[in-house]
């Protein structure tokens, strides 16, 4: 088959991104804006986005750093806490918030204000279903007895199954799935109200990349990279054409010093080359033709949003990934492929 040199995609959406705040905001947002028409912005700020008014303030801050004339749309989320009420949900809906993020308390970066007991979430879940908003799930148990590599599977089998039964009409997204078990669960469950985002790093890497031959902190994110069997199952799901699997980078920048540290932070910064990374993964299994739907249609369909106007172009072009990128007064070391190279480059059409 002739080598493909150019791939034109409908302008895609990133359904899971961390933009951060303050002096680094502009340095983070500018990358996503170059590739995506919209992005679903995670609410785990230092002071989390727990109310409609905080979401409005945060959305305005994002809009203020957009390049002149940009039509990029930040889609806002609310951070669920033990004290979130159905009234908070109704107000969020009025403010244009599209989804609520459930972090089990302590599961990941900036999740301390998250939900301590999911059994107390019924009223909020009912309000979400009534408002036709989505529940986004960081699917890991937090019990210190449970091995970090088992936390997602235990969550899916012990908690998600029960929550699904309690709220069959609630549209949920299991965010950044990392295991074959999660893929199997979504297939088994066979429900149009359970979708999943998949990151580029989980399609490209397994835990050996992070741990063999020296510890590589820039591959460390949560949920943590799993086995090669898991990676292959994720790649199969992402490229299968099943519309319940769609793009969410979970691009999560941290200053270089916070990751290259005795206690390094979780999160990979992939937003600067998101589409190129996904294209690399899809091409590795000969499925580049499946990228357009995964990146630009399935997520929008799941959220009930119209498709973006316009296109982006991926050109076959080798480039060496940057060692660092500006991050306010500091630097980020972006996520790298194992080779430190990419063979695709994204351009605005």
| Residues with catalytic function | 250
222 scored as a contact of ligand NCD (CB under 6 A):
yes
152 binds ligand NCD (CB under 6 A): no
| Contact between 330 and ligand NCD per CB under 6 A | no
Q: Which is nearer to Zn ion, 146 or 266 (CB)?
A: 266
Residues 97 and 21: their CA atoms lie apart, in Å, by 18
221 contacts ligand NCD (rule: CB under 6 A): yes
Interaction of residue 90 with ligand NCD, rule CB under 6 A = no
Partner whose binding site includes residue 104, from ligand NCD, Zn ion, none (CB under 5 to 8 Å by kind): none
346 binds ligand NCD, rule: CB under 6 A: no
Query: What is the spatial distance between Cα 213 and Cα 224, in angstroms, rounded to a whole number?
Result: 18
Binding of ligand NCD at residue 218 (CB under 6 A)?
Answer: no
The residue within the footprint of ligand NCD, chosen from 38, 138, 167, 259 (CB under 6 A), is 138
Does 14 interact with Zn ion (rule: CB under 5 A)?
no
88 part of the interface to Zn ion, by CB under 5 A: no
Out of 242, 250, 276, 283, name the contact with Zn ion by CB under 5 A.
Answer: 250
The interface region with ligand NCD, picked from 105-113, 166-174, 306-314, 331-339 by CB under 6 A, is 105-113
Contact 238, 203 (CB under 8 A): yes
Site string for ligand NCD, 38-57 (x = CB under 6 A): ------x-------------
Of ligand NCD, Zn ion, none, which one does residue 139 interact with (CB within 5 to 8 Å by kind)? none
252 near ligand NCD (CB under 6 A): yes
Q: Contact between 250 and ligand NCD (CB under 6 A)?
A: yes
Q: Residue 267 is encoded by which pair of tokens?
A: 């999160």
b/e burial code for range 160-191 (CB count within 10 A of at least 16 → b): beebbeebeebbbbbbbbbbbbbbebbeebee
* CB 211, min distance to ligand NCD, A: 16
Put the strands of the sheet holding 38-41 in their side by side order.
13-17, 38-41, 73-79, 99-102, 134-137, 172-174, 194-198, 245-247
Interface with Zn ion by CB under 5 A: which range of 49-57, 69-77, 141-149, 244-252?
A: 244-252
Kindly give the residue spans of alpha helices, DSSP state H, lying in the chain: 25-35, 52-64, 86-94, 122-131, 151-154, 161-166, 180-189, 200-204, 207-211, 228-238, 256-259, 274-284, 291-292, 298-303
Residue 77 in the binding site for ligand NCD (CB under 6 A): no
Question: What is the dihedral sign for C-alpha 78, 82, 83, 88?
Answer: positive
Nearer to Zn ion, 250 or 276 (CB): 250
Which residue, 109 or 240, is less far from ligand NCD as judged by CB? 109
CB of 67 vs ligand NCD, minimal distance in Å: 24
CA distances to 86, 100, 167 from 128, in Å: 8, 8, 10
CB count within 10 Å of CB 43 equals: 23
- Overall residue count recorded for the chain in this entry: 349
Choose from ligand NCD, Zn ion, none: what does 296 bind? Cβ within 5-8 Å by kind: none
Collapse the DSSP code of 295 into the 3-class scheme (helix H, G, I; strand E, B; otherwise coil) and give the result: helix
Q: How far is the CB of 267 from ligand NCD (least distance, A)?
A: 3
Q: Which does 89 bind (CB under 5 to 8 A by kind): ligand NCD, Zn ion, none?
A: none
Chain Cα centroid distance, residue 185: 19
Q: Which stretch binds Zn ion (CB under 5 A): 124-132, 248-256, 288-296, 315-323?
A: 248-256
From the list 342, 268, 276, the residue with the least C-alpha distance to 312 is 276
Cα-based distances in Å from 116 to 99, 199, 323: 19, 26, 39
DSSP H or E run through 65: none
Residues lying near Zn ion in the complex (CB under 5 A) are found at 250
Positions touching ligand NCD (CB under 6 A) are 18, 44, 108-110, 138, 221-222, 250, 252, 266-267
């Amino acid at each position: 088959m002739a080598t493909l040199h150019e791939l034109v995609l409908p302008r895609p959406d990133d359904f899971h991104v961390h933009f951060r705040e303050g002096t680094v905001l502009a340095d983070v947002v500018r990358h996503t804006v170059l590739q995506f028409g919209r992005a679903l912005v995670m609410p785990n700020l230092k002071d989390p986005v727990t109310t409609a008014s905080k979401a409005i303030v945060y959305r305005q801050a994002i809009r203020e750093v957009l390049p002149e004339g940009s039509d990029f749309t930040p889609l806002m989320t609310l951070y669920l806490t033990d004290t979130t009420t159905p009234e908070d949900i109704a107000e969020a809906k009025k403010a244009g918030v599209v989804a609520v993020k459930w972090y089990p308390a302590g599961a990941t970066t900036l999740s301390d204000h998250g939900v301590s007991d999911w059994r107390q979430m019924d009223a909020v879940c009912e309000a979400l279903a009534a408002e036709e908003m989505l529940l986004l799930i960081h699917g890991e148990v937090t019990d210190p007895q449970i091995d970090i590599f088992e936390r997602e599977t235990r969550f899916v089998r012990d908690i998600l199954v029960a929550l699904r039964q309690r709220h069959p009409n609630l549209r949920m997204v299991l965010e950044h799935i990392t295991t074959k078990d999660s893929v199997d669960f979504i297939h088994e469950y066979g429900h149009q109200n359970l979708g999943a985002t998949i990151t580029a790093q989980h399609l490209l890497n397994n835990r050996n990349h992070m741990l063999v031959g020296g510890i590589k902190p820039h591959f460390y994110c949560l949920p943590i990279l799993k086995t090669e069997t898991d990676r292959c199952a994720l790649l199969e799901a992402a490229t299968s054409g099943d519309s319940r699997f769609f793009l969410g980078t979970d691009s999560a920048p941290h200053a270089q010093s916070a990751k290259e540290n005795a206690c390094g932070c979780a999160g990979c910064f992939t937003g600067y080359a998101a589409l190129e990374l996904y294209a690399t993964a899809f091409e590795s299994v000969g499925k580049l033709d499946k990228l357009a739907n995964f990146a630009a249609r399935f997520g929008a369909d799941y959220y009930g949003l119209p498709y973006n106007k316009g296109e982006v172009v991926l050109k076959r072009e080798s480039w060496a990934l940057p060692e660092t990128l500006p991050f306010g007064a500091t630097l980020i070391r972006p996520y790298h492929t194992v080779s430190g190279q990419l063979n695709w480059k994204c351009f605005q059409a």
